[in-house]
Amino acid sequence: MNKTIEIQDLGLKDYKQTWDYQEQLFKSIVDTKIKNRREEAVVKTNNYFLLVEHPHVYTLGKSGDMSNLLLNEKQLTEKGATFYKINRGGDITYHGPGQIVGYPILDLDNFFTDIHKYLRFLEEMIILTLAEYGLKAGRSEGETGVWLDVGTPFARKICAMGVRASRWVTMHGFALNVNANLGYFDNIIPCGIRGKAVTSLQVELGVDKVDEAEVKEKLLKHFSALFEAELFQN
């Protein structure tokens, strides 16, 4: 078992380029696993955690409903946004500047083979990070991601999640609103859930700007502890 994870901070990067890169890393892990099984070899599989910020983009998961995108092609262009149908779970979401997006590409055979536990750990990483900023976040029953004021009329989503897994290898991940322009969420029905607000760390703290590098450090600290993993960065 290999419990080391390579952290790659890609900065601001086009969504499609990042998706293609995810697929490349994902395939390299799956191919190693298939080769190990065929040849009865024990070659360690690699694990990666990509951190990235995207230009304005809307993505629709494989179970999503196109009607949850409230813009046509011309309006997308006017807003400087792109749109992709992708192969993760979940419905529609938005990515853009000021949002920390994380894509763990892990071989769960190195950790635990339980996709529900994996999702709960990702949520817990966010919950523990937000607690360091004095925010009490939690899960909303039947809905993925991380929320504030769960169970009240003021419930609002601060982090969206959607993953794909095959042969216990994961891709896609989470999107935490830190300094994001929340106006872009007005153009969709986020995650297909009507009547629920979205928020950001910046809005909740009432500050001009949150230090995103600091947030990343806290996320990685909690991620490492939860997965009992050793992180390294090239």
Report residue 48 as tokens.
């990666």
CA distance 209 to 94: 20
> d(Cα 183, Cα 123) in Å, to the nearest integer?
24
Q: What are the C-alpha distances in Å from 110 to residues 96, 102, 192? A: 32, 19, 33
* Cα separations in angstroms, 16 against 58, 67, 219: 11, 22, 24
Whether 191 is a known active-site residue: answer yes
- Count the helix, strand and coil residues of the chain and give each as a percent rounded to the nearest 5: 35, 30, 35
Backbone φ/ψ region at 47: left (φ over 0), alpha (ψ -120 to 50), beta: beta
Report H helices in the chain.
15-39, 73-78, 115-131, 201-205, 212-227
- Please tell me which residue in 191, 198, 220, 229 is annotated as part of the active site: 191
Query: Distance between CA atoms of 16 and 3, rounded to whole angstroms?
Result: 28
Token pair, residue 52, equals 């990235």
Instruction: Find where tokens 């390299």 sit.
Output: 28
Structure tokens at 192: 């297909």
Catalytic residue positions, numbered: 191
